[in-house]
């Protein structure tokens, strides 16, 4: 089994999404045997924004297709995903490779993969909150992965910038969810 671990936060060791995505990978490694982990830090080694020339480079797509499980650390920046993560997504959502157009709409071709996404949000954006309409990380990533045939799973640490106490509680709650995911 191959796990592709993607982190995209610019916050290094203080990143909540990195802490949670790392825990997910560790839980998966503990529950499985013989797995290989491929790690990509998109903040430390960003992909350039998509150009026609870059589009021809299939290494990122090949790495994605070779993975059985993909774990993504996705912080919320300005209500959506970091541009580094968007550049990675632009390399894996490819017509004819991970989806195709049909008369009945798009059909995902990357079925059979497990995608687990660790989201960290500074404020409260969950359903029912006054700012729920501004949440474009989970909704965007769900749409992207559904397009290519995958139903992603989410672990959310929410309100990490409200107070030090709330940060600890939000991360501890998310870390508890990682145990459930590995079962």
The model's pLDDT over 34-83, given as tens digits with 9 standing for 90+, comes to: 679 999 999 999 999 988 887 778 999 999 999 999 999 999 999 999 99
Coil, strand, or helix at residue 75? strand
Q: What is the CATH number of the domain that holds 133?
A: 3.40.50.360
Tell me the two tokens of residue 92: 């894996």
Q: Are 75 and 119 in contact (CB under 8 A)?
A: yes
- Residues 120, 16 contacting (CB under 8 angstroms): yes
Domain count, the chain: 1
- Residue 14's domain comprises 2-182
- pLDDT tens-digit readout, 83-114: 999 999 999 999 999 999 999 999 999 999 99
Q: What's this model's pTM, rounded to 2 decimal places?
A: 0.94
pLDDT given at position 81? 97
């Amino acid at each position: 089994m191959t796990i592709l671990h993607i982190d995209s936060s610019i916050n290094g060791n203080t990143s909540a999404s990195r802490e949670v995505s790392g825990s997910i990978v560790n839980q998966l490694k503990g529950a499985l045997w013989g797995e290989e982990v491929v790690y990509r830090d998109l903040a430390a080694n960003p992909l350039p924004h998509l150009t026609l020339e870059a589009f021809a480079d299939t290494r990122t797509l090949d790495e994605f297709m070779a993975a059985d499980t993909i774990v993504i650390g996705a912080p919320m920046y300005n209500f959506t995903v970091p541009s580094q993560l968007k550049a990675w997504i632009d390399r894996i959502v490819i017509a004819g490779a991970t989806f195709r157009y049909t008369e009945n709409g798009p059909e995902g071709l990357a079925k059979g993969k497990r995608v687990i996404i660790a989201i960290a949000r500074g404020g409260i954006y969950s359903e029912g909150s006054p700012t729920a309409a501004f949440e474009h990380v989970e909704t965007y990533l769900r749409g992207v992965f559904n397009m290519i045939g995958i139903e992603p799973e989410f672990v959310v640490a929410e309100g990490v910038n409200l107070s030090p106490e709330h940060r600890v509680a939000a991360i501890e709650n998310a870390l508890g969810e990682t145990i459930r995911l590995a079962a």
